[in-house]
Structure 1
Amino acid sequence: MNSTANSSLGNTFISKAIKEKSLTVQVLVGILLYVNGLMIFTFLKKETFRDTRYILFAQTLFVDSAIMLFADLTIVGSAYQLFIHIIFCYIFCTVMGLLSICSPVTLVAMCLERYVAICLPLRHASISSPKNTINGLLIIWGVSGVVPVVVFIIAFAYTPSNAMDLYVVCSIEVMFQVKWLADMRAASHQLLCIITLFIVGSTYIKIMVAAKSASAENKKSTYKGLRTVILHGLQLILGMMQLITPYIDILTLKVDVMLFINVKFSNFMLFWILPRCLSPLVYGLRDKKFYNALKYYAFCGIYVYKKHKIKDNKTIGGALSISIHN
């Protein structure tokens, strides 16, 4: 009897802890979605941001926001034990898988764009043409969709017919009815990680060589591009770390349930939320042109209006002073 009561109290405590942590996540996700939404709005409002660099940045913001929203829905569903139809769970996980791959692939494209701008400046305009940009976006989404779609088809084929009407608490593990499918997905992600890191590393080395041989007036912009690639590399590493978090979760679950909960939410903060915080830092704050436009829309134009008003008043005051003296 005491054992049953203790077990019930333990389950209640664990459920309460999960719900409290999920509420903390809601606050962080809400703030980041607001910031990313404001940046996407800024991009859409200004025609000057219609070049390849900012288009890729806008895609990163969109993909990161969608990933955070999908991951947050997964956490809420797990915390409150929300059941959905298994087919909708498969579709949900497939879209989330596509977005998870699209994020690092877009970062690689952004690094390559910086490489072309710095190392091949004379060809930058022709390579980054509107037509090539659209083709590049289609390639990014096409490459990103290969593994998730294959996993969806195989998972659907191996799901027993009597399980098609089940309602489940949705997670990616639901799709893996056969172990080799999970292994195949993990192997493909590891290969993707190696390829992307190799491309980013090669880009960094080539830009660094270009920076050393650049003239004094070009060194500043070249080194700025170099720092941008470093930040993208850090984003990529943190984002790719999310691929190993399920294995860490499994190990901690064998030790202690509360340890599992704490590690799971810590992994979410470090490898899902933190990489998405770096995108606003890379362009939203470091890029002066974008930062000024962002500040204008963030303050609804009030800050800029007051600044111009003060400047105009000083001009009028100066003109009056001159006319009085004359």
Structure 2
Amino acid sequence: MVVNDMIQLTFAVVMNIISYVFYTINVSFCCFLLMIAVFTTINTPLNLASMAVERYIAICNPLRYTQICTVRKTYVLIGLIWLVGTIPVLPDLFYLLATQPMEFFNSRIFCNRDTVFHDPYLIEKKNISHLLYLSFVFLTLVYTYFRVALTARAAGSDARKARNTILLHVLQLMLCIFTYIGPLLESLLISHFPVFAMELRFMTYIFVHVLPRLISPVVYGLRDQMFRTYLKKQLVCNVQLGGIKQQTQPF
């Protein structure tokens, strides 16, 4: 999930910088950026569902955990997630190649999914696919959470940690919803406040792309005992050094 989010953020940052510096770019290059960004964006909720299922198996079926969650099956699952992530957007590219002349791919355009794949049929298909994906992931998280929560009542701290982990995944999924409603929210705000179009695009970029992917490294890092110990030492050292510098400054 971390690698997937790193790729997503990298391409999202590149597209955001391009929109500020050049505003329009070549359609073919834009399609390449969009394909990678959409793949990794769709993969994020699927990764959350997979991690929740893994916690469910570890707590509710511990005797079969080593048989089900093997390294080989994990690689197969990752490959399946990337394959499923391509299903909503690859048909859009094939449709674009079949319906648009070559001059279109050599032209320049503002790099946005709804701008490139502007056909009403493709936009409607995108909305339906997003709804199906989010519904599937949400039901998976709810089911695994309640099953693990019931087990946690009669088990130890491991089950309670797994329940809290799945609850964190639910929060991450709620933030991922911003990714799907972001373009609609952005167009709505820009239509009402066209003077602040660039500022609104930057604001939606922060909430849609950066914020949902900021939680994972921060929360998982703080929950790690070794990382938390080093972080406390680092903060204490910085505070002490700051106090020493203030005391040694001449009046």
Contact 2:56 2:148 in 1 (8 A): yes
Identity, % of aligned positions: 26
Counterpart position of 2:184: 247
Quote how far apart the aligned CAs of 1:80 are.
1.5
Contact 1:147 1:185 in 2 (8 A): yes
- Corresponding residue SS for 1:170: coil
- Corresponding residue SS for 1:147: coil
Counterpart position of 2:19: 78
Counterpart position of 2:247: none
CA deviation profile, 1:39-69 (whole Å, cap 9, x unmatched):
xxxxxxxxxxxxxxxxxxxxx1111111111
CA deviation profile, 1:123-145 (whole Å, cap 9, x unmatched):
11111111211111111111111
Contact 1:252 1:263 in 2 (8 A): yes
Q: Distance in 2 between matches of 1:88 and 1:265?
A: 22
- Corresponding residue SS for 2:221: helix
Counterpart position of 2:241: none
Contact 2:4 2:44 in 1 (8 A): yes
Q: Distance in 1 between matches of 2:140 and 2:16?
A: 33
Counterpart position of 1:271: 208
Q: Distance in 1 between matches of 2:133 and 2:205?
A: 21
Which of the numbers 237, 240, 246 marks the counterpart of 2:174?
237
- Over the residues paired in the alignment, what is the CA RMSD in angstroms? 2.2
> Is 1:107 matched up with 2:48?
yes
- Corresponding residue SS for 1:274: helix
CA deviation profile, 1:287-319 (whole Å, cap 9, x unmatched):
336x37x959xx9xxx9xxxxxxxxxxxxxxxx
Distance 1:97 1:278, change over 3 A: same
Counterpart position of 1:156: 97
Q: Distance in 2 between matches of 1:86 and 1:259?
A: 26
Runs of 5+ consecutive residues of structure 2 not aligned to the other structure: 238-251
Q: Counterparts of 1:148-297 in structure 2 under 5 Å?
A: 148-214=89-155, 218=156, 220-288=157-225, 291=227, 295=230
TM-score normalised by L of structure 1: 0.67
> Is 1:96 matched up with 2:33?
no
Distance 1:255 1:84, change over 3 A: closer
Q: Counterparts of 1:7-46 in structure 2 under 5 Å?
A: none
Equivalenced residue count is 234
Contact 1:77 1:169 in 2 (8 A): no
TM-score normalised by L of structure 2: 0.85
> Is 1:65 matched up with 2:65?
no
Contact 1:241 1:271 in 2 (8 A): yes
> Is 1:125 matched up with 2:66?
yes
Q: Distance in 2 between matches of 1:234 and 1:193?
A: 13
The structure with the largest alpha-carbon Rg is 1
Distance 1:192 1:61, change over 3 A: same
Q: Distance in 2 between matches of 1:260 and 1:87?
A: 25
CA deviation profile, 1:128-187 (whole Å, cap 9, x unmatched):
111211111111111111112111111222222332321233221232241111111111
Distance 1:258 1:222, change over 3 A: farther
Q: Distance in 2 between matches of 1:118 and 1:209?
A: 10
Runs of 5+ consecutive residues of structure 1 not aligned to the other structure: 1-59, 304-326
- Return the letter of the residue paired with 1:199: T
Contact 1:204 1:226 in 2 (8 A): yes
Q: Distance in 1 between matches of 2:162 and 2:218?
A: 14
- Return the letter of the residue paired with 2:185: I
